[in-house]
A and B are shown apart, each in its own frame.
Chain A
Amino acid sequence: MLAKRIIPCLDIRDGQTVKGINFLDIREVGDPVEMGAEYARAGADELVYLDITATHEGRNLFANLVRKIAEHVNIPFTVGGGIRDLSDVDPLLNAGADKVSINSAVVKNPDLIGQVARSYGSQFVVVAIDANFEEDDWFVYVNGGRIKTKRRLFEWAREAEQRGAGEILFTSMNHDGTKNGYANQATAQLSTSLGIPVIASGGAGKMNHFVDVFGEGEADAALAASIFHFREIGIQDLKTHLRNHNIPVR
């Protein structure tokens, strides 16, 4: 049976792992390659590395880092952050990344989804969507949650799928950093209306939040950062907990 995936997310700035709380207040937590290898040993199903560096030098560090991750980590990993066009994708996939996650660039230029999908295959394209619930709807934000757009979550996710996305990574900005649980209702609505896997992100604080997002939220995968980085929840303990709640895990 296809297992539900647990995905630690590592935010990278200047080649180091950091974790932002509610998209700001960043503190460093450790070496990304070591952390990735340790998560893989602990039973993580996949990893996501997001480059939050704004500088050109930082970006070069990230490309070198991707190669080191590919050398040392024996599970699939996705990389993203700062991808603007196809020429940003090539070096990442050639360095050994399994997928790229693209967020703001595809909101501005939706054709990029199809371009990457045609060049590499849909399974290489994760479309990441940051959305905030306000005025009775989910609005899509870009630039790390700083700029609101007119796009709505469900329409945009459907369009991304039609354009060739292989997976949707949905972060609820309302839930991110709160540790009060995932946006289960919205995740379920996404997951049941799309024909591609949905990764839920934002809000994990307790092991039961994962039970809920896989159950009620019907997510295919759940992503979290700080609770893993600060060892509040161990991956193996979490897998045992999920298994005890009849959720298929590896």
Chain B
Amino acid sequence: MKVAIVKYNAGNIRSVYFALERLGIEAVITDDHEKLRTADRVIFPGVGEASTTMKYLKERKLDILLRELTQPVLGICLGLQLMCAHTEEGDADCIGIFDLEVKKFEMKLKVPHMGWNSLENVRGKLLSPEVEGTFVYFVHSYYAALGENTSAMTHYNIPFSAAIERDNFYATQFHPEKSGPVGEKILKNFLEL
């Protein structure tokens, strides 16, 4: 199976690569349109600032490419936020695969929301029922609100989208590559979709 990780100006792409390696998959990290289009699975990870990252993606027309992909695509963390319609971070229009608004957590909370939190109301194809109530690792200051594409929610004072999916597009706000055996299970589910 050919798995491509979208290469862009974001941190921590290595850890996704290593997590796949632990599952016996040697992924390619690339921004080559042809390689991304022909991969069996595309992972769009990332940690970074949203508006500068969107600018980077647009310059390389990766935003258009991502929207047109037909194989299963998995966005992680910032990847999820960039697959939404708009983010408050740098007031940026995003790729718009999901019709969701990304907002900043209120300042009365400790921000970033950092650490292990639980998945609730799990549904859909990416997350199997056994991950209901289990803990996964989050690090983020912005969140996608709940919507009809929400496939799992998590509470950090307010409920937000921990995972979303629509057609061939899947995304998690948490880091499956850093979430121990539960995260490995979710990555495996993605590879087996």
The reply to whether the CB of A81 lies closer than 8 angstroms to some CB of chain B is no
Binds B, one of A23-31, A68-76, A138-146, A207-215: A68-76
Docked Cα-Cα span, A167 to B115, in Å, equals 11
Q: Could you say which residues of chain A place their CB within 8 Å of the CB of B49?
A: 121
The reply to whether the CB of B61 lies closer than 8 angstroms to some CB of chain A is no
Is the Cβ of B47 less than 8 Å from the Cβ of A123?
yes
Docked Cα-Cα span, A74 to B179, in Å, equals 7
Map CB proximity to A onto B153-165 as digits: 1 under 8 Å, 0 otherwise. Answer: 0011000000000
> Which residue of chain A is the closest to B77 with respect to CB atoms?
A123
Report, as a range, how many residues of chain A touch the other chain: 20 to 34
> Which residue of chain A is the closest to B17 with respect to CB atoms?
A96
Map CB proximity to B onto A196-214 as digits: 1 under 8 Å, 0 otherwise. Answer: 1100000000000000000
The reply to whether the CB of B112 lies closer than 8 angstroms to some CB of chain A is yes
Given contacts A74-B183, A76-B178, A123-B47, contact A1 B117 (CB under 8 A): yes
Report, as a range, how many residues of chain B touch the other chain: 35 or more
Q: How far is the CB of A82 from chain B (nearest CB, A)?
A: 21
Is the Cβ of A96 less than 8 Å from the Cβ of B18?
yes
The one of A76, A124, A197 in contact with B11, judged by C-beta atoms closer than 8 angstroms, is A124
Docked Cα-Cα span, A123 to B49, in Å, equals 11
The one of B19, B110, B118, B180 in contact with A196, judged by C-beta atoms closer than 8 angstroms, is B110
The one of B112, B155, B180 in contact with A1, judged by C-beta atoms closer than 8 angstroms, is B155
The reply to whether the CB of B147 lies closer than 8 angstroms to some CB of chain A is no
Q: Could you say which residues of chain A place their CB within 8 Å of the CB of B114?
A: 123, 166-167, 197, 220
Q: Could you say which residues of chain A place their CB within 8 Å of the CB of B110?
A: 194-197, 220
Given contacts A71-B21, A74-B184, A195-B110, contact A96 B14 (CB under 8 A): yes
Is the Cβ of B139 less than 8 Å from the Cβ of A123?
yes
Docked Cα-Cα span, A122 to B18, in Å, equals 23
Is the Cβ of B115 less than 8 Å from the Cβ of A95?
no
The one of A40, A94, A98, A195 in contact with B111, judged by C-beta atoms closer than 8 angstroms, is A195
Docked Cα-Cα span, A75 to B137, in Å, equals 8
The reply to whether the CB of B60 lies closer than 8 angstroms to some CB of chain A is no
Q: Could you say which residues of chain B place their CB within 8 Å of the CB of A75?
A: 137, 178-180
Our count of residue pairs bridging A and B at CB distance below 8 angstroms stands at 90
Docked Cα-Cα span, A124 to B12, in Å, equals 10
The reply to whether the CB of B135 lies closer than 8 angstroms to some CB of chain A is yes
Is the Cβ of A5 less than 8 Å from the Cβ of B183?
no
Q: Could you say which residues of chain B place their CB within 8 Å of the CB of A71?
A: 18, 21-22
Given contacts A76-B178, A196-B111, contact A2 B15 (CB under 8 A): no
Map CB proximity to B onto A161-178 as digits: 1 under 8 Å, 0 otherwise. Answer: 000001100000000000
Map CB proximity to A onto B65-105 as digits: 1 under 8 Å, 0 otherwise. Answer: 00000000000000000000000000000000000000000
The 5 closest A-B pairs by CB, nearest first: A250-B135, A96-B14, A3-B116, A250-B116, A123-B139
Of the A-B pairs whose beta carbons lie under 8 Å apart in the complex, a sample of 17, sorted by A's number, is A1-B117, A2-B113, A2-B156, A71-B21, A74-B22, A74-B179, A74-B183, A75-B180, A93-B11, A94-B14, A95-B14, A96-B14, A121-B11, A123-B47, A167-B114, A197-B110, A220-B114
- Known pairs A71-B18, A72-B22, A76-B175. 14 more at Cβ < 8 A? A1-B118, A2-B113, A2-B117, A3-B135, A74-B22, A75-B180, A98-B12, A123-B140, A167-B114, A195-B111, A196-B112, A220-B114, A221-B115, A250-B135
